[in-house]
Amino acid sequence: MSVDVGALTLRGPILAASGTFGYGTEMPLLERRALGGMVSKGIFLRPRSGTPPPRIVETPSGMLNAIGLQGPGVEALIRDYAPKWAEWDFPVFVNINGESAAEYAELTARLDGVPGVAGFEINISCPNVEQGGLYFGNDPRAAAAVTDAVRKRTRLPVWVKLTPMVSDIGVIARAVEAAGADALCAINTFVGMSIDLNAYQPRLSFRTGGLSGPAIRPLAVHLAHQAARAVRIPVIGIGGIATAEDALEFLVAGCTAVQVGTATFVNPRAIAEVHDGIAAFLGARGLSSPADLPRYLPRD
């Protein structure tokens, strides 16, 4: 079940997606053998309290969230979580955030070399922060500048998590590839809104939120596929994966690995079930690894 994401070999094709797995210490029910890796909750240099409630609302086959990247800041992450990660048998990527390219760079420099930190997922796609976030993700020059700033401060793998809120994801994908990204993660949540008809105002205090869950899966498969067609580096597919079949769609559409997110909220064993389902699918077809799957990836 192992896959190669650039120079990094994962023991399985499934990672826990950022923001859906905390810092990896909160999930007692998951069989960890199923984890190819994990991406931490997004972190900034400094602690952030996040947005006021309500922060989540369920929508058809999905949910909107506006957590606002609540987190303890990088020093607490290094003190409280990284030592645990260093003992685990799968790599932990840190989802990094900043309000400027310089902040991303400073965060990377602080985390580089910390035992337990296996690599970076640059978040240029969070819709729920006032500064930074999406701004970097929908401008190819800004996206490249952040990627370059991070790249220059680490030799660990650098992944870039892309936003779907762009007119051509291939443009952003190529820009961050050229700036030195090792892989792309496609995609983050879509920006959405839900209205409370009793209050005549948005249900979320932040007004808008990021839409995740099965509702976005066909959109995500398409965008991950478009990103994969645009670049030579690996693409990690994300968006509404709840079953092995969902994950396999991303793999066949050109992804090297996948991340499972919102499904974990619903089913704490989702990652293990996706893992076992992929193994069964491959076994039934005489394929020995996810890399042997036929790909639908016509080159542009």
Partner 1 sequence: MFLVDARITGKRLVAREMYVITMHAPQIATTVLPGQFVNISWSPGPMLRRPFSVYRVDGERIEIVLKAVGVGTAQLLSMTQGDRVSCLGPLGHGFEFGAGPRSAVLVSGGLGVASMTLAARQAASLGIRVTWVHGARTKEDLCSESDGDDLIWATDDGSKGVKGTAVAAAPDADLVLACGPNRMLAAVAARWPEAQVAVETYMGCGTGVCLGCAVPLKRGGYDRACTEGPVYRASDIDWATLPSHLSYAATP
Catalog residues that contact partner 1 under the rule CB under 8 A.
19-22, 26-29, 41, 49-63, 65, 67, 70, 194, 196, 198-199, 203, 213-214, 264-269
B/e letters for 246-280, b = 16+ CB within 10 Å, e = fewer, are bbbbbbbbbbbbbbbbbbbeebebbbbbbbbbbbe
**Minimum CB–partner distance for residue 95 and partner 1 (Å):** 13
**Cβ-based nearer residue to partner 1, 178 or 266:** 266
**Minimum CB–partner distance for residue 67 and partner 1 (Å):** 5
**Cβ-based nearer residue to partner 1, 13 or 202:** 202
Q: To which residue do tokens 């996040």 refer?
A: 50
Closest CA to 183 of 254, 133, 126, 129: 254
Amino acid, res. 256: T
Closest CA to 192 of 57, 39, 11: 57
**Minimum CB–partner distance for residue 247 and partner 1 (Å):** 18
**Minimum CB–partner distance for residue 193 and partner 1 (Å):** 10
Given 30, 39, 126, 158, the catalytic residue = 126
185 carries an active-site annotation? no
- Sign (positive/negative) of CA torsion 131, 134, 139, 143? positive
Cβ–Cβ < 8 Å for 169, 230? yes
**Cβ-based nearer residue to partner 1, 4 or 130:** 130
**Cβ-based nearer residue to partner 1, 52 or 283:** 52
What 3-state DSSP class applies to 216? Answer: helix
DSSP readout, 245-285?
Answer: HHHHHHHHTT-SEEEE-HHHHH-TTHHHHHHHHHHHHHHHT
**Residue 68 Ramachandran class (φ > 0 left, ψ -120 to 50 alpha, else beta):** left
Give the C-alpha separation, 233 to 182, whole Å: 6
**Cβ-based nearer residue to partner 1, 65 or 188:** 65
**Minimum CB–partner distance for residue 232 and partner 1 (Å):** 34
Catalytic residues: 126
